[in-house]
Structure 1
Amino acid sequence: MTPTPTRVTPRPQARQVELAVTGMTCAACATRVERKLGKLDGVRASVNYATGRASVEVASATDDAALLDAVRRAGYQAEPVTPESAEEPDSGDRSRDLWRRMLVSVLLFVPLCDLSLLFTALPGTRFPGWQWVLAALALPVVGWAALPFHRAALSGARRGSSSMDTLVSLGICAAGAWSAYAMFSGHEPAELTGFWALLRADGAIYLEVAAGVTTFVLAGRYFEARAQRRAGHALHALADLRAKTVTVVRDDGTRQEIPVDDLQVGQRFLVRPGETVATDGVVRDGRAELDCAAMTGESMPVGTASGDDVIGGTVLLTGHLVVEATRVGRDTRLAAMVRLVEEAQTGKAAVQRLADRISAYFVPAVLVLAVSTSVGWLLAGGTAERAFTAALAVLVIACPCALGLATPTALMVATGRGAMLGIFIKGHQALESTRHIDTVVLDKTGTVTEGRMSVVAVECLPGVERAVVLRRAGALEDASEHAVARAVSAFAREELGALPGVAEFRNLTGLGARGVVEDREVLAGRAALFGELGWEVPGDLDAVRREWERQGRTAVLLGWDGRAVAVFALADLVRPSAPRAVAGLHRLGLRTVLLTGDNAATADAVAAAVGIGEVVAEVLPDEKVDVVRRLRAQGRVVAMVGDGVNDAPALAAADLGLAIGTGTDVAIGAADLILVRDELTVVPDAIRLSRAALRTIRGNLVWAFGYNLAALPLAALGLLNPLVAGGAMALSSFFVVSNSLRLRRFAPGGWENADPSR
């Protein structure tokens, strides 16, 4: 019997959707949107209040319309973020609207406050119709200026939810309603005496409180909106680096200016002085200097010539270049950097997720506390006025806005500042890991060293001219593709210029090469090759070769007429910035380990040159991850710095992975921090920046939690004027944002004064 084949329905591919959400006013709003989106089948969402972005992973057939509808049902508006809209700076409409409402509130609040306090403290100063004067001053404030709060509160009430706007709207309405009752019913206020009476504001008229709360909250949101735009400025600055048009060079030599979006891989384009390199590519013609500061943080111009890679977004200072495009659109390095910053700013740290969960339950808890406060005062024999004052102060002081801003604003500023310095933080995990890092493992080739062979010394037999040696060695090796041969030919060409030709060239795989140069048979290669062919190697020359090899250098013999006449020493040169970088890591209290597949002699020489005391050498590429795991098993918290494909598993296995940005895409994909600047000093800079961001986040959270914990009991006990409470609430949010903005002043270097405990 033939079994019935089972039909397998392919699982839909997960996709990422980013939404711009408008109308959120606090962390509780973000949590509400997250919950609504999370109820959809196969949808996972993370909503960031500070950035106004929802990062949604859709693992089902759910379309974008369903996502937008879920956000609308939560009481907010959303639209998909496209590459074009993501690059557009904030229009500032919200800031301008907040400014207009705040300006009206301030202009009316000042005389309203003066008159209200005067009529409350000195009832004898009241004149016929005084109530209507106060009402005329207050109505535009509590009505038009506070309208966004009332709308949001009403919208939430219809859906059975609450937010910060609920507290603000209730406080304004309650203060206004009580004041109207007191003014038009003939209720006499209690007398004001002493400082505590001023703090408690034992009076019957609270119009100045209603107007003051409106003014303070509007002011807080206005400055918060401006600060958030400043915090996100780096992202817009990166997007602005992108060229809008490009001059394409056709095969027939003609030139045509086209939109950069129409540029294709393989096309060649012209870059003139002052122009931005349109996309990633390879220089095919020309020589120039590039300003790479915006992309890599390097302050000095970078020289480039035919065959060199260039990055889109850099600016040509001098010369002309013809570049062949190798990556376009979203595949370019600049586009990848923008995505890294966006993803990092949308993500949430564990501490922020905790704050968001607290905020979701905070508002209902405050409403219960306000009612309980009022009832408690009445049961204790207090007056209705005293009960109302305390409950109103509870409503006003309890804004959870600072909790929602504590982490994302600091992360926004840190990622933005890092981008300007060539440090790209992939997400919050990197910040949470850096504080505990105690060991930094550095890959040798391409990380501590330049990753290419260079001639560092030449020794010739007495009577043999150096120029002749270089000319014949350069000509022979110029015909080979081997890395050692390219280094020798480049060294000879740099000293002599033009080189002669070579005839009868033969590449001897793994040993060297031979050919005829200037009518002489020339041989270059290892000592084994000379011994195999029976060529003489003088003792003095062989002693030099052995010493260089003992030092970890690669030695290449050169000879003609059956005898070696010179020896070249080659090495993968240490990056000039490596010793300073290692010293900086040590000053931060970190242990360093050099990891390489090279022989122990070479590894020890490099380690000694840069100041690393611990070396792990002669490991195969797939064994690097085992070294990282072994260090972690010993109780160390490990950061791994690498650049190659074979470093990717170790980068992923480490507690913190740092990829050199000039490395492979695989390494970059496995890392937590991307270091674009071509200097190793960026490693201690990245760790310092991450630690500074984490300290700022923790300070913000301590302030936000501590503020509410200290202020709510004071308000409930009747020791806080609702007007003072409104000002303190706005100040709390402003403090959190301003504290985060201090990260914009982070400067590279400064390890000499670093505190290892921090």
Structure 2
Amino acid sequence: MSENKHHEHDHHNHDMMAEGHMHHHDNHENQKEHAGHEHHDHSGGMDHSMHMGNLKVKFFVSLILSIPIILLSTMMGKQLPFQFSFPGSDWVVLVLATALFFYGGMPFLKGAKMELDMKSPAMMTLISLGISVAYVYSVYAFIANNLLNSPVHIMDFFWELATLILIMLLGHWIEMNAISNAGNALQKMAELLPNLATVIKEDGSTEEVSLKEVQVGQKVLVKAGEKVPTDGIIIEGKTSINESMVTGESKDVVKGLHDKVIGGSVNGSGAITVEVTGTGESGYLSQVMELVGNAQKEKSRVESMSDKVAKMLFYVALVVGIGAFIIWYVLTKDINIALERMVTVLIIACPHALGLAIPLVTAKSTSLGAKNGLLIKNRQALETAKKVDVIMMDKTGTLTEGNFAVNDYLSFDSTYTKEQVLGLMASLEQNSSHPLSVGVLKKMEELNLSIPQATDITNLPGIGMEGTVDGKDVKIVSVSYMKQQHISFDNDLFNQLSSQGNSVSFLLVDNKSIGLVAQGDQIKEEAKSMIDRLLAQGIKPVMLTGDNRQVAGVVAKQLGIEAVHAELMPEDKEKIVKEYKEKGLVVMMVGDGVNDAPGLVRADIGVAIGAGTDVAIDSADVILVKSNPFDILHFLSLSKNTQRKMVQNLWWGAGYNILAIPLAAGVLAGIGIVLSPAVGAIFMSLSTVIVAINAMTLRIKE
């Protein structure tokens, strides 16, 4: 079996990733609140979530404060049909507007303070500029009109202040909502997996409880074949446990009294009682939660592009606003007209559509990805994906199922039927979770055969297994052992079976060859169509595998992959990735095991299949939670569509301002066209709605 050593990282582990979310769901709730807090970059949108408080409440309270303002104050000095006033109504408006400015506007003002502290004015500063100017100027207008009896009625902007704050809050609420929905999608994936542990109560009875209710110090029963629910210590029973996805140790580890077990590893054939030392939150799997948090925090270049646009608009608004003030004052000698122009420019520059443009697309793509089993850990990967030239794929577990099925079993000795050959193998293998053993045991089950008893079973590393059945010495060995020991076998038969992609194990009884079992790994049904689609997109698939050349060649031929690198050690995979990158190619690497981790880190985009191991999770940029290679195509398509939407939205968001600012400054005043803030506000709302709808129409498939 030596050829198959590399198969030994277990494929149960693919569930782990999503399962991790489940362990940490409670945790996720509190973590979500901190998602934006840990690093304060100047991204406007998301990272100011800390100042947003409960946006839903803020929005509705602000709405209640705004309704009277909208009814009682004129829009840009023009009376709308539904508006009215009464003696003293101006005072009501002033009080409500003040409350609204300090309550509803506070998240933006705090965000602006943060940006200015970092000498990097962006979205929040731009929004704060708009609402502060509107408020301060309106208070000045109120004082001039009501207290100083100004000969000219000075127009106030309370109406604009109210609508601006409302639209801004609504936008940020949508954004936060979309982001937490992406989290919910992860939770939904988690719920597809088992969520219970069998707790042993004081009186010895057992009860199935939800994993999140299990506490340190409790005793849990782990039956054969179940996942170990938490970290703990064995207090009863012995078994072997597959910890490959946790530690990378591919062989089963024998465990007895007082040995430690790790939550998420897979129990073998013995039942054990475990005293809990760490629950989901404190256990090993909590890193999966961090992944989700980090995925939210990663920023892509395009996102900072929206900040660059906001920064530019901030400076443009200041320069144009002050310029407009000076020019209008020189032309008219009327400070009120000049002030009003400047204020209009500053209010109109406030680009809500832009504040929403990128966050909405990002939120939508995160949640779409999650619903389709794609966990995008590094947003940068969405951008790099459009440049990919080569996709390198591990064979076992990525292109193939990684679980072996018996294709043929034969007896060479008339004293044994071929069923007995299979039975003898099963007797040695019944406590092993090696993929080849599992295949044999499955076949016995299918044929409804009983397994003979074996004693003194030992592993022969790199060769196979040995044990005693009915007083006879029984061995399962690889072809290399047969050659080494000069035991004769039918070479043509062996070649024929292995050329079909089978792994062949021989059975020896008292060192005489009496039969063989041929097992093949099944190609995943989606693999072929995925390779065809990649070739159609001009992306070159490359197979990397630790398996022998012959088996790798058979699989590659069936799939239509020309470039095959076989019999590799983990460090070889990384070397090959490096070689391709040195040729100037953009490389994506897809793998599932510890042996793929170095390559995943080295590649431009590392994709982990089902997050087979903690190492693979740490190394990858994207995780295919459903272990379906076809999802690579979904990722490529999501990446292309996300890019397109981001650029479209930046144009929609900023385009409005590019037009509106000069008009507001009065560039066309000579021919009687001056953009009033009212019309500006309407256009601004329109561009916001367009951007939101455009983001929401993002799809994975064309």
Normalising by the smaller structure, the TM-score range is 0.7 to 0.9
Could you say which residue in structure 2 is the equivalent of 1:637? 586
Could you say which residue in structure 1 is the equivalent of 2:134? 171
1:586 deviates by 3.7
1:501 aligns with 2:496: no
Out of 564-573 and 602-611, give the one that drifted further: 564-573
Q: Which runs of 5+ in 2 are unaligned?
A: 1-29, 238-260, 266-271
- For residue 584 of structure 2, give the secondary structure of its aligned residue in structure 1: coil
Alignment counterpart, residue 710 of structure 1, candidates 639, 653, 659: 659
Once residues 114 and 642 of structure 1 are traced to their aligned partners in structure 2, the CA distance between those partners, rounded to angstroms, is 61
- For residue 457 of structure 1, give the secondary structure of its aligned residue in structure 2: strand
Aligned-residue Cα RMSD (Å) equals 4.8
1:117 aligns with 2:78: yes
What letter matches 1:591 in structure 2? K
Question: Is the CA contact (8 Å cut-off) linking 2:178 and 2:360 kept in structure 1?
Answer: no
Could you say which residue in structure 1 is the equivalent of 2:596? 647
Residues 179-258 of structure 1: matches in 2 within 5 Å? 181=144, 206-207=155-156, 209-235=157-183, 238=186, 248-249=199-200, 253-255=204-206
1:672 deviates by 0.8
**Post-superposition CA distance 1:381-417 (Å, at most 9, x none):** 5866653443232011111554444434433332233
Once residues 560 and 338 of structure 1 are traced to their aligned partners in structure 2, the CA distance between those partners, rounded to angstroms, is 51
Could you say which residue in structure 1 is the equivalent of 2:6? none
Once residues 578 and 288 of structure 2 are traced to their aligned partners in structure 1, the CA distance between those partners, rounded to angstroms, is 29
What letter matches 2:679 in structure 1? V
Once residues 692 and 153 of structure 1 are traced to their aligned partners in structure 2, the CA distance between those partners, rounded to angstroms, is 31
1:420 aligns with 2:368: no
The alpha-carbon distance between structure 1 residues 153 and 174, as it changes in their structure 2 partners (threshold 3 A), is farther
Could you say which residue in structure 1 is the equivalent of 2:424? 472
**Post-superposition CA distance 1:154-189 (Å, at most 9, x none):** 98899999652232221244256447756885857x
1:517 deviates by 4.6
- For residue 678 of structure 1, give the secondary structure of its aligned residue in structure 2: coil
Once residues 132 and 555 of structure 1 are traced to their aligned partners in structure 2, the CA distance between those partners, rounded to angstroms, is 97
Once residues 176 and 400 of structure 1 are traced to their aligned partners in structure 2, the CA distance between those partners, rounded to angstroms, is 23
The alpha-carbon distance between structure 1 residues 341 and 701, as it changes in their structure 2 partners (threshold 3 A), is farther
1:250 deviates by 5.0
Could you say which residue in structure 1 is the equivalent of 2:59? 98
Could you say which residue in structure 1 is the equivalent of 2:677? 722
1:593 deviates by 0.8
Once residues 338 and 480 of structure 2 are traced to their aligned partners in structure 1, the CA distance between those partners, rounded to angstroms, is 98
1:455 aligns with 2:406: yes
1:679 aligns with 2:633: no
Once residues 231 and 441 of structure 2 are traced to their aligned partners in structure 1, the CA distance between those partners, rounded to angstroms, is 28
**Post-superposition CA distance 1:592-644 (Å, at most 9, x none):** 11111323221111112333232222333211111111111222111001122
1:444 aligns with 2:405: no
The alpha-carbon distance between structure 1 residues 694 and 325, as it changes in their structure 2 partners (threshold 3 A), is farther
Once residues 19 and 489 of structure 1 are traced to their aligned partners in structure 2, the CA distance between those partners, rounded to angstroms, is 45
**Post-superposition CA distance 1:324-345 (Å, at most 9, x none):** 9796333568743432222122
- For residue 694 of structure 1, give the secondary structure of its aligned residue in structure 2: helix
Once residues 590 and 71 of structure 2 are traced to their aligned partners in structure 1, the CA distance between those partners, rounded to angstroms, is 59
Out of 511-520 and 655-664, give the one that drifted further: 511-520
Alignment counterpart, residue 498 of structure 2, candidates 539, 549, 573: 549
- For residue 618 of structure 1, give the secondary structure of its aligned residue in structure 2: coil
Question: Is the CA contact (8 Å cut-off) linking 1:172 and 1:214 kept in structure 2?
Answer: no
Once residues 154 and 546 of structure 1 are traced to their aligned partners in structure 2, the CA distance between those partners, rounded to angstroms, is 75
The alpha-carbon distance between structure 1 residues 727 and 606, as it changes in their structure 2 partners (threshold 3 A), is same
The alpha-carbon distance between structure 1 residues 180 and 411, as it changes in their structure 2 partners (threshold 3 A), is same
Alignment counterpart, residue 346 of structure 2, candidates 395, 399, 421: 395
**Post-superposition CA distance 1:488-528 (Å, at most 9, x none):** 34433442342112468786665556666567776643456
Could you say which residue in structure 1 is the equivalent of 2:645? 696
What letter matches 2:134 in structure 1? G
Once residues 485 and 55 of structure 2 are traced to their aligned partners in structure 1, the CA distance between those partners, rounded to angstroms, is 82
The alpha-carbon distance between structure 1 residues 172 and 515, as it changes in their structure 2 partners (threshold 3 A), is closer
**Post-superposition CA distance 1:13-42 (Å, at most 9, x none):** xxxx999699xxxxxxx9xx99xxxxxxxx
Residues 261-660 of structure 1: matches in 2 within 5 Å? 263-264=215-216, 267-268=219-220, 328-330=279-281, 335-356=286-307, 359=310, 362-363=313-314, 365-381=316-332, 386-460=337-411, 465-478=417-430, 484-485=436-437, 487-502=439-454, 510-511=462-463, 517=469, 524-526=476-478, 537=489, 542-558=491-507, 564=513, 566-660=515-609
Could you say which residue in structure 1 is the equivalent of 2:94? 139
The alpha-carbon distance between structure 1 residues 528 and 340, as it changes in their structure 2 partners (threshold 3 A), is closer
Once residues 186 and 228 of structure 2 are traced to their aligned partners in structure 1, the CA distance between those partners, rounded to angstroms, is 14
1:281 deviates by 9.9
Could you say which residue in structure 1 is the equivalent of 2:41? 46
Once residues 560 and 692 of structure 1 are traced to their aligned partners in structure 2, the CA distance between those partners, rounded to angstroms, is 61
Residues 651-670 of structure 1: matches in 2 within 5 Å? 651-670=600-619
1:652 deviates by 0.9
Could you say which residue in structure 1 is the equivalent of 2:248? none
Once residues 239 and 576 of structure 1 are traced to their aligned partners in structure 2, the CA distance between those partners, rounded to angstroms, is 27
What letter matches 1:475 in structure 2? S
The structure showing larger relative contact order (alpha-carbon pairs under 8 Å, at least 6 residues apart) is 2
What letter matches 1:701 in structure 2? L
Once residues 370 and 149 of structure 1 are traced to their aligned partners in structure 2, the CA distance between those partners, rounded to angstroms, is 25
1:137 deviates by 6.5
What letter matches 2:130 in structure 1? L
Q: What is the TM-score when the length of structure 1 is the normalising length?
A: 0.68
Residues 14-25 of structure 1: matches in 2 within 5 Å? none
Once residues 173 and 315 of structure 2 are traced to their aligned partners in structure 1, the CA distance between those partners, rounded to angstroms, is 26
Question: Is the CA contact (8 Å cut-off) linking 2:357 and 2:691 kept in structure 1?
Answer: yes
What letter matches 2:637 in structure 1? R
1:225 deviates by 1.2
Could you tell me the percent identity over the aligned residues? 27
Once residues 216 and 569 of structure 2 are traced to their aligned partners in structure 1, the CA distance between those partners, rounded to angstroms, is 39
Once residues 244 and 487 of structure 1 are traced to their aligned partners in structure 2, the CA distance between those partners, rounded to angstroms, is 27
The alpha-carbon distance between structure 1 residues 115 and 254, as it changes in their structure 2 partners (threshold 3 A), is same
1:246 deviates by 6.6
Once residues 588 and 91 of structure 2 are traced to their aligned partners in structure 1, the CA distance between those partners, rounded to angstroms, is 64
Out of 411-420 and 719-728, give the one that drifted further: 411-420
Once residues 291 and 596 of structure 2 are traced to their aligned partners in structure 1, the CA distance between those partners, rounded to angstroms, is 20
Once residues 481 and 217 of structure 2 are traced to their aligned partners in structure 1, the CA distance between those partners, rounded to angstroms, is 44
The alpha-carbon distance between structure 1 residues 48 and 270, as it changes in their structure 2 partners (threshold 3 A), is farther
- For residue 501 of structure 1, give the secondary structure of its aligned residue in structure 2: coil
Once residues 531 and 278 of structure 2 are traced to their aligned partners in structure 1, the CA distance between those partners, rounded to angstroms, is 34
Q: What is the TM-score when the length of structure 2 is the normalising length?
A: 0.73
Question: Is the CA contact (8 Å cut-off) linking 1:172 and 1:210 kept in structure 2?
Answer: yes
**Post-superposition CA distance 1:409-466 (Å, at most 9, x none):** 4333322333333322112222221121121110112322233443222245697744
Once residues 141 and 696 of structure 1 are traced to their aligned partners in structure 2, the CA distance between those partners, rounded to angstroms, is 39
Question: Is the CA contact (8 Å cut-off) linking 1:232 and 1:413 kept in structure 2?
Answer: no
Q: Which runs of 5+ in 1 are unaligned?
A: 1-16, 23-29, 35-43, 55-76, 79-89, 122-128, 189-203, 286-307, 313-320
- For residue 329 of structure 1, give the secondary structure of its aligned residue in structure 2: coil
Q: Alignment length, in residue pairs?
A: 620
Out of 385-394 and 663-672, give the one that drifted further: 385-394
What letter matches 1:674 in structure 2? I
The alpha-carbon distance between structure 1 residues 511 and 616, as it changes in their structure 2 partners (threshold 3 A), is closer
Once residues 505 and 487 of structure 1 are traced to their aligned partners in structure 2, the CA distance between those partners, rounded to angstroms, is 19
